[in-house]
Amino acid sequence: MNNLASSHLNEQVDRPESVLGKLSFGQTSDKIPGSLAIWFAILAEMSEFAIMFIVYFLAKVHNPELFYEGPTKLSTTAGTTNTLIMLTSSFFVVRAVMAIRDNKPKQSATWLWGAVACGIFYLIIKVFEYQWNTAQGLDTETNIFYGVYYYVTFNHFLHVGWGSAGLVWVIYRINTGIYTSNEHEGLINMAVYWHMIDLAWITIFPLLYVIR
C-alpha cells in the first residue's frame, strides 16, 4: 500500500514552501490536508468555540447549582442522537474522500449525500429539541445555564446548516467532473471543515448534556 492509499486527506503533491513551513520546528512532514487557507478558517472557528467553552467554565464556577441541575432537564436522547449523527456524517465524508481517491466519483457523491442527510437530520432533531425545551419552559431567559446552552448550540446549529450547504456544493463539483482522483483539493477542504464541526459538537455534548 503506497503513501497515496494510506492517507485519504493528505495531498501527495509538491507544495511551494508555505507559511507554516517557515514556522516549522523539526517537523518530519510538510503535508497539509487541503489548503492552508481552510486551516486558518478552522483554527479561527476552533478559537471561537474555545472562547464559548471558557465562558461555559466561568459561568459554571459562579453558578454551580444551576449547572448541576441544568443538564438533567435537557433531552439526553436528542443530544446523544445528534452526536451519533455527527460522527456518522464525518465517517461518510471520510469514505467520500477515499472513493474519489479510488477514482469513483459517483460513489464519492453518494457518500457525501449521506453526510448531507445526516446534517439535515441533525437540524431537524435540534428544532424538535428546542420546541421540547420551550414546552418545558426552558428558554434563553430561564437561567444562565440555558443562556449558554442556547448560545453555544445555536451557533453550532448554524455551522451544521452552512456546512451541509457546502457539502452540496462539493457534490455538484464532483458531478460536473471538476474533482477527479488527481485534483480534489476543494473536497478535502470541505472534509476537514466538516470534521471541525464534528469536533465542536463532541465537545459540546459532554459539557452541556452529561457533565454535572
Partner 1 sequence: MKQLTRINSLWLLLIILTLFSAYMAERGTPGFYSVVIMAVVLAAKGRIIVDHFMELKDAHIVLRTLMRVYFYVIPALIIIVYLFPEQIAKWTVL
Binding partner 1 by CB under 8 A: which of 61, 106, 141, 176?
A: 61
Decide: is 33 part of the binding site for partner 1 (CB under 8 A). Answer: yes
Q: What's the distance, CA 158 to chain centroid?
A: 11
Q: Which stretch binds partner 1 (CB under 8 A): 8-16, 115-123, 151-159, 160-168?
A: 8-16
Binding mask 11-30 for partner 1 (x = CB under 8 A): ---------xx-xxxxxxxx
Inter-CA distances, 112 with 54, 107, 125, Å: 33, 9, 20
Binding partner 1 by CB under 8 A: which of 8, 156, 159, 184?
A: 8
Smallest separation (angstroms) from partner 1 to the CB of 126? 17
Rounded to the nearest 5°, which phi and psi values hold at 8?
-95, -10
CB 122 within 8 A of CB 82: yes
Number of residues interacting with partner 1: please give it, by CB under 8 A: 61
Decide: is 2 part of the binding site for partner 1 (CB under 8 A). Answer: no
Distance CA 195, CA 210 (A): 22
74-103: contacts with partner 1 (CB under 8 A): 76, 79-80, 83-84, 87-88, 90-91, 93-95, 98
Give the three cell numbers for residue 70.
Answer: 441544568
Applying CB under 8 A, the residues found at the interface with partner 1 are 1, 5-10, 20-21, 23-33, 39, 43, 46, 50, 53-54, 57-58, 60-62, 64, 68, 71, 76, 79-80, 83-84, 87-88, 90-91, 93-95, 98, 192, 195-196, 198-199, 202-203, 205-207, 209-212
